A and B are shown apart, each in its own frame.
Chain A
Amino acid sequence: MISFEYIADNIDKWLNNTFSPWLALTIEFVIVGVLCIGLFAVLGLVLIMMERKVSAYMQVRLGPNRVGPKGMFQTVADTLKLLVKEGLTPAGSDKFLFNLAPFVVMIAAMLVLAPIAFAKNFQIWDINIGVLYVSAVSSIGVIGILMAGWASNNKYSLLGAMRSGAQIVSYELSAGLSILVVVIFTGDLSISQIIESQQTGWWIFRGHIPMLIAFIIFIIAVTAETNRAPFDLAEAESELTAGFHTEYSGMKFALFFLAEYVNIFIVCAIGATLFLGGWMPLHIGNWEAFNSIMDWIPSSLWFVGKTFFLIFVIMWFRWTFPRLRIDQLLNLEWKYLLPISMFNLLLATLIAIQGWYF
Chain B
Amino acid sequence: MFITQYIKEVFTGVKSLLIGMRRTGYYFTHHKEIITQQYPNEIPVMAERFKGEVIMLHDQNNEHACTGCTACELACPNATIKIVTKFDITPEGKKKKAIDKFVYHLELCTLCNLCIEACPTGAIKMGQNFEHSVFNRAELTKVLNKPGSKVRDDVE
Binding site for B on A (CB under 8 A): 54, 57-62, 316-317, 319-321, 336, 340
Contact = CB atoms under 8 A, between A and B. Distances in A.
Nearest to A312: B28
A60 B38 CA distance: 12
Contacts of A340: 10
13 contacts: A57-B27, A57-B28, A57-B31, A58-B28, A60-B27, A60-B34, A61-B34, A62-B38, A316-B21, A319-B24, A320-B17, A320-B21, A336-B10
A321 B27 CA distance: 15
Contacts of B31: 57, 60
Interface residues of B, number: 15
B136 interface: no
The B contact surface, by secondary structure, is: helix
Contacts of A60: 27, 31, 33-36
Interface of B: 10, 17, 20-21, 23-25, 27-28, 31, 33-36, 38
A324 to B, nearest CB: 12
Nearest to A317: B21
Contacts of B33: 60
A340 B10 CA distance: 10
Contacts of B35: 60-61
B36 A320 contact: no
Contacts of A320: 17, 20-21, 23-24
A8 to B, nearest CB: 37
Contacts of A317: 21
A215 to B, nearest CB: 13
A57 B26 CA distance: 10
Contacts of A62: 34, 36, 38
B83 to A, nearest CB: 43
Most interface-central of B21, B23, B24, B38 (chain A CB within 10 A): B24
Contacts of B24: 58, 316, 319-320
Nearest to B29: A57
B20 A61 contact: no
Contacts of B21: 316-317, 320
Contacts of A57: 27-28, 31
A316 B33 CA distance: 18
A249 to B, nearest CB: 26
A329 to B, nearest CB: 14
A321 B20 contact: yes
A59 B20 contact: no
Contact of B28 (A54, A321, A336): A54
A57 B28 CA distance: 5
Most interface-central of A316, A320, A336 (chain B CB within 10 A): A320
A321 B34 contact: no
Contacts of A321: 17, 20
Contacts of A59: 27
9 closest Cβ pairs, A-B complex: A57-B31, A58-B24, A320-B24, A320-B20, A60-B35, A57-B28, A61-B36, A58-B28, A320-B21
A320 B23 CA distance: 8
A213 B17 CA distance: 16
Nearest to B22: A320
A128 B25 CA distance: 40
A150 B36 CA distance: 41
Most interface-central of A60, A319, A336 (chain B CB within 10 A): A60
Contacts of B36: 60-62
Nearest to B9: A336
A61 B27 CA distance: 10
